[in-house]
Chains A and B, each alone.
Chain A
Amino acid sequence: MIRYLIKNNFKLMARNWVNVFLLILCPLLVSAVLISAFSTLLAKYEKVDSFKAGFSIEQGSKWETAESIMIESADKAGIVLVKYQNADPEQTIRNEDLGGFVTISDTGYRIYRTEDEKVKGMTLEYFFSVFFEQAAAAPAGAASAAKIALSVEHPEFTKAVDSKDYYGIAFLLYFAWCGILVAWTLLSSEKKIGIGKRFIVSGLSETQVTFAKFIPTTLSVFLGIGIACILSSVLFGVHFGNALVIAGLLLAMIAAAIALGLAIHSLTDNILVTIISLFALVWVMGFFGGSFETYMFSSHSKTLKMLSPIYHCNRAVIEYSAAGSTKFIPSALLYCGGITVFCLLLCVGVNNLRRRGRA
């Protein structure tokens, strides 16, 4: 009975260009920005290639005699030390495009580092720390240190996810949670132009009316986000795991999101209030769930994170995609399933009460 209603509702949503923009273009654009912005924060350490650094030694300093050893050791560590005696370190760094600059005197040494070349600066600083320490330590020290045996454990850690995979996935999921927006026309026309009256007159039950909105909206959002996933994989190289598993997770999550939106709409009976409330709720869930600040780095309490369904979904999809396995798939499915069932029941119940008040 509602098969054709579902079909036509789906057509209505698919024919609205705004939905294409919301479900496909927006998440891709936002992901692109965030991938770019957080690339260094989430970057796996990449060993820096050989780079140039400048140095100067105070005239008459005892370290002048160690100059050649210093240059040779630095070369082994991938640092090409170039002498710029009497040069201004700050100007020289900028003019010669150096990774850093060191000025050495008898009392100490000063390392000039720039914000643009953090890794090179750290490498330079470490080199000189070790160089001067080894100079003070016993000559045989380095060789015998290598013989010391230490207890080393290799626990199973969650592999680091780079920003491309993290934000490429997290923002698709975030937009999916706002998916009820695609049903805007459907929900507003029911009230405004009397489509709802036709449903009542035809004897359709509230359960049927609810499912006639829930199913096509879920499918529309799933299709849109699915296309966005494919595009993000092609355009940005985002890794997704097994397609069936990811599709299943997405479907469960989108079903929960749409059910939640419909439940809020049934309570408020106003599309604008529904959207504002839902956006606010999703924002809070995303805030604690790692949609903005990664869940790895956020300092929110674990309890708050665990309460957010987006946290479970993010961890399930992101970790499964990046590492091939995760413990969060059951919890994500359970949470989303629970939300779907509860919200649909609430929606049907409230709408029935409302109808009984009228009819």
Chain B
Amino acid sequence: METILKLTDLTKKYGNKVVVDNLNIEIRKGEIFGLLGPNGAGKSTTMNMICNIIRPTLGHVEFMEKDFRKNSRELSKKLGYIPQDLAIHGNLKAWENVEMFTSLYGIKGAELKKRIDESLEYVGLLDRKNDYAKSFSGGMKRRLNIACAIGHHPDLLIFDEPTVGIDPQSRNFILERIKKSNKNGTTIIYTSHYMEEVEAICTRIAIMDNGKIIAIGTSEELKKLVVDDTSKISLEEVFLTLTGKKLRDV
């Protein structure tokens, strides 16, 4: 399978503290890649470096075989990022939010209108397009958050804990949509603390701790690292075994 994203010796230091330590990952086109790790493992920092929000101390990010930082203008249009924060304006209507963020990728006019409706329909908010975002429930805001990032039809979508604090129905809806996007050819990078989600949708999973990848593989492969009979263990137990049960007070 073709590689869409390659992280080579990716490192981030803040002073003497190494937050991301020499990461080498290849993400294949069309897969759903899960990134797990305890608090302070370096997941969000890694996501930020991939999205060009922060600069790596060492190493580089290659996206579609091109250096991301040198070709960021061109490559940004193929990348979509759903942040953990609800980066939407409460005082704008749903369609206005999607219009605002989708237009940043150069889409305009009739095509933009079409994409707005598509995105809202995709996340199940088309009938609420004229309502203000501040009137939405938590789950609806999360869905709108997604809609704002998919209008430009990116090749790679990065989800940073997209289901935090929402009800099971909304969560299930989002996961279904992620699977649907993937079926349409979009590569997904997914970070979460919810093991069952990651297990349910990810084709490959990396477990990160203290800035390093400590294990990478399919769910089955990761379970095999710990026990022979993979039916007797959950991904959560694998995670705790590999990272330890000690509290991470960052």
Contact = CB atoms under 8 A, between A and B. Distances in A.
A358 B85 contact: no
B92 A203 contact: no
A85 interface: no
Contact of A201 (B51, B55, B89, B100): B51
Given A1-B106, A204-B104, A8 B96 contact: yes
Nearest to B100: A8
Contacts of A16: 91
Given A198-B87, A200-B53, A358-B55, A4 B72 contact: no
B53 A202 contact: no
A324 to B, nearest CB: 43
A359 interface: yes
Interface stretch (B21-29, B73-81, B199-207): B73-81
B55 A198 contact: no
B112 interface: yes
A267 interface: no
Interface size class of B (residues with CB under 8 A): 20 to 34
B54 A203 contact: no
| Most central of A15, A185, A200, A203 by chain B CB within 10 Å | A203
Contact of A12 (B75, B91, B103): B91
A198 B148 contact: yes
A302 interface: no
Nearest to A190: B87
B104 A12 contact: no
A268 interface: no
Interface string A54-73: 00000000000000000000
A320 to B, nearest CB: 38
Given A189-B89, A195-B87, A202 B104 contact: yes
Interface string B101-131: 1011110100010000000000000000000
Contacts of B100: 4-5, 8
Contacts of B73: 203
Interface in A301-354: none
Contacts of A357: 55
Contacts of B3: none
Nearest to B97: A8
Nearest to B96: A8
A3 B51 contact: no
A247 B100 CA distance: 30
Interface of A: 1-5, 8, 11-12, 15-16, 185, 189, 193-195, 197-204, 356-359
17 contacts: A1-B106, A2-B104, A4-B99, A11-B91, A15-B91, A16-B91, A193-B85, A193-B86, A194-B87, A195-B87, A195-B89, A198-B149, A201-B53, A201-B76, A357-B55, A359-B54, A359-B55
